């Protein structure tokens, strides 16, 4: 088990740990019904914080920001010599957490995506983990929630008996959700992005060799070029250039240079 704390990558504090340590913290918080907000960030997720001071504040207020992408893991290792040997990939973290939850008897809740997606996701998770307790699920409304809807969502999740909530709203909405619901739910919240689509069988995952070599972004770009071209073709070069500035100490990316959000966004 490896957990070497959090380290500054372009002003975003990234956790240098492995799957075992991440799952152990999530399961322990689930047992104790303690709040624990977790996000798995690739380059795009990190850059949402780099380019938005309020969102940077949210990310750094989360309990765990794990290196979902190989380029993020490489940055943590290169800048801070942490020696993390593998990324903590959101879809895999979701499966390992489901396994840990099943073994510990901790019910889970699924928030986000469409109702048909959730139906397929639940069936696939139950086939993989027959003892997993899925306490409930709520599809996304694909819009901002009213304060009343937010309160009802909190009440529904708490009443379900869930001990861990998975959120699949896409980046950065799911990180906003984890930040805003953390205290109200008082349980682990995992923002896992495309994991819902992958595990429901609606999106293909990149081959293992592409994931290991940091080319998953290219596979996803080819799969969804119209939706993702700006994310990868604009943000990836900017990420590399800014990392060079941090590595050579030509620019200071201070995590404290952020702004508390001025209002709730209440994504749902």
**34-82 pLDDT tens trace:** 999 999 999 999 999 999 999 999 999 999 999 998 999 999 999 999 9
Provide the H-helix boundaries in the chain.
Answer: 19-32, 43-50, 53-61, 70-80, 90-104, 115-128, 147-160, 173-185, 195-199, 208-212, 216-223, 225-247
DSSP letter at 189 equals: E
Q: How much is the pLDDT for 78?
A: 95
Residue pLDDT, tens place only, 77-123: 999 999 999 999 999 999 999 999 999 999 999 999 999 999 999 99
Q: Determine the pLDDT at residue 184.
A: 96
CA dist., res. 72 & res. 239, Å (int): 10
Q: Are 89 and 66 in contact (CB under 8 A)?
A: no
Per-residue pLDDT, 221? 67
Strand partners, 14: 7
Upper half-sphere CA count for residue 182 (Cβ side, 13 Å): 21
Radius of gyration from C-alpha coordinates of the chain = 18
The SS3 of residue 216 is helix
Instruction: Judge whether residue 212 has pLDDT over 80.
Output: no
Cα(4)–Cα(84) distance, integer angstroms:
9
Residue pLDDT, tens place only, 213-261:
677 767 776 777 777 667 777 788 999 999 999 999 999 999 999 989 9
Please give, one letter per residue, the 3-state secondary structure of 235-263: HHHHHHHHHHHHHCCCCCCCCCCCCCCCC
Pairwise CA distance, residues 172 & 39, whole Å: 10
Q: How many CB atoms lie within 10 A of CB 131?
A: 10
> Distance between CA 4 and CA 252 in Å, rounded?
22
Write down the mean pLDDT value for the chain: 92
In the predicted structure, residue 141 carries a pLDDT above the cut 80:
yes
Q: Mapping DSSP to helix (H, G, I), strand (E, B) and coil, where does residue 192 land? A: coil
Mean pLDDT of 10-27: 97
pLDDT-based confidence at 24, cuts 50/70/90? very high
206 — pLDDT class (breaks 50, 70, 90):
low
Of the candidates 68, 30, 51, the residue with the CA atom closest to the CA atom of residue 166: 30
The Cα 188–Cα 162 span in angstroms is 10
Which of 155 and 219 is assigned the larger pLDDT?
A: 155
Local confidence band at 125 (pLDDT 50, 70, 90 cut-offs): very high
Answer positive or negative: Cα dihedral of 39, 45, 46, 51: negative
Mean pLDDT throughout 158-187? Answer: 96
């Amino acid at each position: 088990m490896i957990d070497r704390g959090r380290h500054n990558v372009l002003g975003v504090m990234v956790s240098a740990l492995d799957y075992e340590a991440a799952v152990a913290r999530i399961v322990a918080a689930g047992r104790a019904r303690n709040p624990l907000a977790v996000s798995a960030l690739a380059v795009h997720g990190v850059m949402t914080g780099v380019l938005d001071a309020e969102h940077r504040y949210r990310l750094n207020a989360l309990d765990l920001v794990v290196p979902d992408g190989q380029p993020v893991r490489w940055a943590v290792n290169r800048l801070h010599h942490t020696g993390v040997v593998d990324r903590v990939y959101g879809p895999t973290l979701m499966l390992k957490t489901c396994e840990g939850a099943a073994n510990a008897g901790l019910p889970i809740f699924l928030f986000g995506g469409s109702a048909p997606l959730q139906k397929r996701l639940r069936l696939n998770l139950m086939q993989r983990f027959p003892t997993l307790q899925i306490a409930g699920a709520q599809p996304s409304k694909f819009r901002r929630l009213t304060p009343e809807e937010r309160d009802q969502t909190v009440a529904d999740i708490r009443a379900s008996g869930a001990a861990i909530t998975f959120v699949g709203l896409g980046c950065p909405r799911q990180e906003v959700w984890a930040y805003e619901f953390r205290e109200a739910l008082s349980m682990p919240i995992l923002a896992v992005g495309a994991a819902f689509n992958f595990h429901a069988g609606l999106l293909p995952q990149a081959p293992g060799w592409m994931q290991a070599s940091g080319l998953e972004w290219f596979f996803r770009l080819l799969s969804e070029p119209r939706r993702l071209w700006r994310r990868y073709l604009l943000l990836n070069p900017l990420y590399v250039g800014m990392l060079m500035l941090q590595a050579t100490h030509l620019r200071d990316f201070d995590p404290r240079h952020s702004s508390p959000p001025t209002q709730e966004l209440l994504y749902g």
